[in-house]
Amino acid sequence: MKKKQVLAMTMALVLSMGTLAACGSSDSASTDAPAADSAETTADNAAAETTADGTTEEAADNEEADTAVVDATNWTDYDNLIKEIKTTTDFAERVVLMHQAEDMLMETGAILPIWYYNDIYMLKSNVSNIYSNLYGFKYFQFAETDSDTLRLNLASEPDKLDPALNTTVDGACLVVNSFAGLCTYDADGNVQMDLAADYTVSEDGMTYTINLLPDLKWSDGSELNANDFVYSWNRATAEQTAADYSYMFDVIARNDDGTLKVEASEDAQTLTVTLGSPCAYFLDLLAFPAYYPVKQSAVESVDGWETNPGAWAQEAGFVTNGAYTLESWTHDESMTYVKNPYYHRADEVKVEKLELMLSADDTAIFAAYNADNLDFIDTVPTDEIQALLDNPEFHIVDNLGTSYVTFNVKSELFADKTPAQANAMRRAFALLVDRDYMTENIGQTGQQPANAFIPAGMADGNGGVFKENSDSYTYPNADTAGYFDPYALDENIAEAIELLKSAGYEFTDDNMLSDSTPITFEYLTNEASSNVAMAEAMQQDFAAIGITMTIKTCDWNVFLNERKSGNYDICRNAWLADFNDPINMLEMWTTDSGNNDCQFGR
């Protein structure tokens, strides 16, 4: 097959007619249509004249321009595209459709990529057998040290510890050490059986039959069986639970009453799962915390559980089934986990106790580590990194994820703009950011500047790498709407100014934003030193052409909920992949997703 390319206008017209499969010969925009052109409305709006039908030439031109761009507030086409990706059985076609989805995201400009992630942590030399994976999960349950206690810092106060409700990496680290699922990840990052003894898959790939290990127990000593998975998975998808990750269960077929096609055998030792279509990453889902079981009687024993489904896990002492249980919790200060004697691999757990310092103060955390009050930390002050690069206790590990900035597409900043103009504004902001400076001076550990949302190195679900050219796809270049060369800063700034002009902003002869059309907005971030440093760097980048950005910092939990609720103009964001397939970073942006921080379609 020949490499495929079409005009961005062709793709948008196809999408507007509801035809979301690959059309003609492409899934990417043509280099013949520069990004500035796709967002341009009219060159001289002030001189618009009335046409014979009573409309203005300006209105007619804007209407024509808007048919050529993706509308971030009308998101039905994207929602339908994700549904098609998740149901197609043609894996090659699926790759093409996923590229279309990323192209749509990038054309809106609502996601401003900064860099592709790696991770850092510091670990005392007397501690071993701690491991992490590409998705940021850190496993402490098999650690070995010369003490019966391991002292850790992961973050400040965790937001949620209910496996179905957690959406943060620090929360996931606590979940994977206190709960267990059917599958898990080993030290090499491979999926392996955990509570499952074995499984079989039907010839058509649609039915999984999973046999559980015998004699599984909850931390209170009661029996854990297949019925717990039936309950937990249906709870995670129930409307009243309002789990942000409910969409991760969409791969499972539904019964007529809307429940999942998941059945426990009569002896409750076997789980039968019927999928809606073959899913190459289903075992990875089984290793993801949202798929971990919770005990029904524990969840529903707390007053108000119907309206506050996570209330059961908001204080110490809740029932788990993993290596540790939470013995004490002094909110905003500390947590203590103790070994769970009923854990099915309890004989492999050597450390009796995990003590966690709850703080987001990089300086205080680093000082506690240097004073030998902590054995493990996964953050250090930005200005300490260079001195630590040769320290054997300082570790840099691979991650699969992207650090980025989120725009609230419902912000008043875009209220009087057409979809084309709003896209142009957001894409202009992305072009103004000096990523090379950020990676060298803030990241400092070999991060790769990012020009798209899906991270480099992610698989494509069809035996290849998503961001490598193939017979069916040519990776977009700097002339494609929403994409750019992160190293070509001067050219990017020039293009940004043209995009802002197309959105109605005026500039002086020295390319500074005119006082007659100011741009002012607030940037929301949490208090980690690297995130504040990134905000300050962007503030300077925007100020270079006259844009005013103020910075608002807040505590981690407040920040998470403000972002989720859309109470911001522009904010700091980041996403580590949940598994190695692009769909997990594309499906999160559907209209109804609990992780749709951009507020697409709302």
Residue 404 lies in a domain: yes
Mean pLDDT, the chain, rounded, equals: 89
Residue 366 lies in a domain: no
Angle between helical axes of 419-432 and 91-108 (0-180°, round to 10) = 90
Q: Domain of 178: which CATH number?
A: 3.40.190.10
Mean pLDDT across 384-399: 96
Residue 137 lies in a domain: yes
Q: How far apart are CA 162 and CA 319, in angstroms?
A: 11
| pLDDT at residue 522 greater than cutoff 80 | yes
Q: How many residues does the chain have?
A: 602
Q: How far apart are CA 549 and CA 432, in angstroms?
A: 13
Beta bridge partner(s), residue 112: 405
Q: How confident is the model at residue 577 (pLDDT cuts 50, 70, 90)?
A: very high
148 and 226 belong to one structural domain: yes
Among 360, 376, 408, the domain boundary falls at 360
Q: How confident is the model at residue 68 (pLDDT cuts 50, 70, 90)?
A: low
Q: How far apart are CA 24 and CA 14, in angstroms?
A: 10
Q: How far apart are CA 109 and CA 91, in angstroms?
A: 28
Tens of pLDDT, residues 196-244: 999 999 999 999 999 999 999 999 999 999 999 999 999 999 999 999 9
Q: How far apart are CA 529 and CA 200, in angstroms?
A: 48
- 472 alpha carbon, distance to own chain's centre: 26
Which CA distances in Å does 452 have to 34, 102, 105, 366?
Answer: 17, 8, 9, 33
331 and 429 belong to one structural domain: no
Determine phi and psi for 455, rounding to 5 degrees: -70, 155
45 and 75 belong to one structural domain: yes
DSSP-derived 3-state class of residue 526: strand
Within 10 A of 424 (CB to CB), how many other CB atoms are there?
30
Task: Give the count of domains, the chain.
Answer: 2
Residue 373 lies in a domain: no
User: Which of 177, 232, 134 is CA-nearest to residue 455?
Assistant: 134
Mean pLDDT across 415-423: 96
Mean pLDDT across 463-469: 88
Q: How far apart are CA 423 and CA 154, in angstroms?
A: 36
440 and 563 belong to one structural domain: yes
Determine phi and psi for 143, rounding to 5 degrees: -65, 150
Residue 3 lies in a domain: no
200 and 309 belong to one structural domain: yes
Tens of pLDDT, residues 362-381: 999 999 999 999 999 999 99
Q: How confident is the model at residue 478 (pLDDT cuts 50, 70, 90)?
A: low
User: Which of 125, 115, 78, 95 is CA-nearest to residue 28?
Assistant: 95
Query: What DSSP character marks residue 341?
Result: T
Contact 264, 226 (CB under 8 A): yes
State the pLDDT at residue 480: 74
State the pLDDT at residue 477: 65
Residue located via tokens 């500390």 = 334
Q: How far apart are CA 458 and CA 460, in angstroms?
A: 7
List CB contacts of 142: < 8 A, sequence separation 6 or more.
Answer: 129, 348, 349, 350
State the pLDDT at residue 373: 98
* Torsion sign over Cα 219, 221, 225, 230: negative
State the pLDDT at residue 475: 72
| pLDDT at residue 39 greater than cutoff 90 | no
Residue 596 lies in a domain: no
User: Which of 197, 22, 35 is CA-nearest to residue 95?
Assistant: 22
State the pLDDT at residue 60: 40
Which CA distances in Å does 456 have to 19, 121, 150, 481, 583?
Answer: 29, 22, 34, 19, 14
Residue 491 lies in a domain: yes
26 is written with which tokens?
A: 């492409």
100 and 182 belong to one structural domain: no
200 and 263 belong to one structural domain: yes
Among 310, 344, 360, the domain boundary falls at 360
Q: How far apart are CA 289 and CA 130, in angstroms?
A: 19
Residue located via tokens 């998503």 = 466
Mean pLDDT across 531-546: 97
Among 304, 332, 360, the domain boundary falls at 360
**Residue 506 burial (CB < 10 Å; 0-12/13-18/19+)?**
exposed
State the pLDDT at residue 481: 76
Within 10 A of 449 (CB to CB), how many other CB atoms are there?
20
**Residue 320 burial (CB < 10 Å; 0-12/13-18/19+)?**
buried
Helical H runs in 362-481? 362-370, 385-388, 419-432, 435-438
Q: How far apart are CA 498 and CA 112, in angstroms?
A: 18
Q: Which domain holds residue 573?
A: 8-116+399-589
Q: How many helices (H) and strands (E) does the chain have?
A: 17, 19
Q: How confident is the model at residue 42 (pLDDT cuts 50, 70, 90)?
A: very low
Query: What DSSP character marks residue 384?
Result: G
484 is written with which tokens?
A: 């750019």
44 and 133 belong to one structural domain: no
Radius of gyration of the chain (CA): 25
List CB contacts of 73: < 8 A, sequence separation 6 or more.
Answer: 409, 410, 419, 600, 601, 602
107 and 162 belong to one structural domain: no
Angle between helical axes of 76-87 and 91-108 (0-180°, round to 10) = 160
State the pLDDT at residue 474: 73
DSSP-derived 3-state class of residue 332: coil
Contact 312, 243 (CB under 8 A): no
DSSP-based helix, strand, coil % in the chain, nearest 5: 30, 20, 50
149 and 214 belong to one structural domain: yes
| pLDDT at residue 123 greater than cutoff 50 | yes
User: Which of 195, 122, 127 is CA-nearest to residue 154?
Assistant: 122
Proportion of the chain above pLDDT 90, given as a percent: 84
When mean pLDDT is compared across 63-72, 188-197, 231-240, the lowest value belongs to 63-72
| pLDDT at residue 15 greater than cutoff 50 | no
Residue 390 lies in a domain: no
User: Which of 14, 30, 34 is CA-nearest to residue 22?
Assistant: 14
In the chain, the amino acid numbered 202 is S
User: Which of 204, 205, 92 is CA-nearest to residue 460?
Assistant: 92
Q: How far apart are CA 357 and CA 367, in angstroms?
A: 12
Proportion of the chain above pLDDT 70, given as a percent: 88
459 and 347 belong to one structural domain: no
List CB contacts of 558: < 8 A, sequence separation 6 or more.
Answer: none
Q: Domain of 549: which CATH number?
A: 3.10.105.10
99 and 180 belong to one structural domain: no
